[in-house]
Amino acid sequence: MSDKKEANYDFEKNQDAFMNALYWYGIPTLFRAPNNPDPSACDIALVGVPHSTGNGTTERDQHLGPRAVRDVSANGRRVHMNFELDPWNTCRINDLGDVPLTHANNNEKSIEHITEYYKYIDAAGARPVSVGGDHSITGGILQALGGPTSKLTNGEKACILHFDAHTDCFSNMRHFLGAEKSAAHWASYLVRDGHVDAHHSVQIGIRGNARTLDWLKPSYEHGYEVITMDRFNEIGVEESSKIIRERIGDRPLYITFDLDCLDPTVAPGVSNIESGCQGFMIDQVMRLLRSVRGCNIIGGDVVCLIPTKDSPNKITSMVAMSIMFEMISLIADNHK
């Protein structure tokens, strides 16, 4: 029997060195970042937006997305090998917690509350990386981060790099099953209301179950550059990346990533899954995301995770975590 004693057991040292890398240990925050609700205390603000009623369908477990990503994110990468970057030691990164949505079943009121919350972040100068939630949250966020009142854009409209299987620009629909500022409308009303500059924005990955032959028409009318999956398969990553960089330039950029742009084999636990044609593989979207390295990225979000439809190994939650880490690293790389 060993007579060694653990009198010198260092709780904090052991917790930091090993236990915090285990997703099932301790109190979950996004990437084990400190929980601090004050956006002025960080450079990058990690935020959960547990909102589901903007999707307008029964696919409403998207409000469980932030908790699911917090659950797995301790296992995520800590450093970016391609950038030779440790983002956690490059800038201050905190988990602010979740947007308090006291009227969660009322989509329009919730979008207002999301906007007010992100105005608070914008005023502090922190750059938010968020996890939803359905795609209507992007409308609420960019009503705060883009346009004449935005500190992060210096009053300019925001450009967007929009990964999605769907355009979410359906201005020809009055509402989506009652939701007006819905997951199907944000890409149109943000342009109409002066928050987003569509003429310097890109929608990429568009594919799937089109209902009408003119389903891309609203995007073109608003001024978006659209790279459908068919077009992407023709021109490839390099040409697509060139189009993205030339389109955006040095303008303030927001990245929004709908997980349904990925192939269902990569991300099965999503809303509005598109199984009829192949979506992106994970390496393709990583290369596309890295094409905006060095751009003025004001924030980003990952949306449409449905944990209750995910595989038992939580693969879609882990993919969402990986996309978030890429956004964090892109912003931290600029900060460096």
pLDDT digits (tens, 9 = 90+) for 30-42: 999 999 999 999 9
Q: What is the CATH number of the domain that holds 304?
A: 3.40.800.10
Identify the pLDDT of residue 307: 96
pLDDT digits (tens, 9 = 90+) for 259-300: 999 999 999 999 888 988 999 999 999 999 999 999 999 999
Q: Based on the structure, what is the number of domains in the chain?
A: 1
* Residue 11 in domain: no
Burial class from Cβ neighbours inside 10 Å (0-12, 13-18, 19+) for residue 123 reads middle
Structure-block tokens of residue 118: 């992100």
Q: What are phi and psi of 327, to 5 degrees?
A: -65, -45
> Rounded to an integer, what distance in angstroms lies between the CA atom of residue 102 and that of residue 208?
34
* Residue 9 in domain: no
DSSP codes, 214-246: TTTHHHHHHT-EEEEHHHHHHHHHHHHHHHHHH
* Residue 245 in domain: yes
> Rounded to an integer, what distance in angstroms lies between the CA atom of residue 77 and that of residue 329?
11
DSSP codes, 109-140: HHHHHHHHHHHHHHHHT-EEEEEESSTTHHHH
Partner residues linked to 160 by β-bridges: 254
Residue with tokens 């601090």: 36
Record the pTM.
Answer: 0.94
* Residue 158 in domain: yes
Q: Residue 122: which domain range?
A: 27-169+179-335
pLDDT digits (tens, 9 = 90+) for 224-233: 999 999 999 9
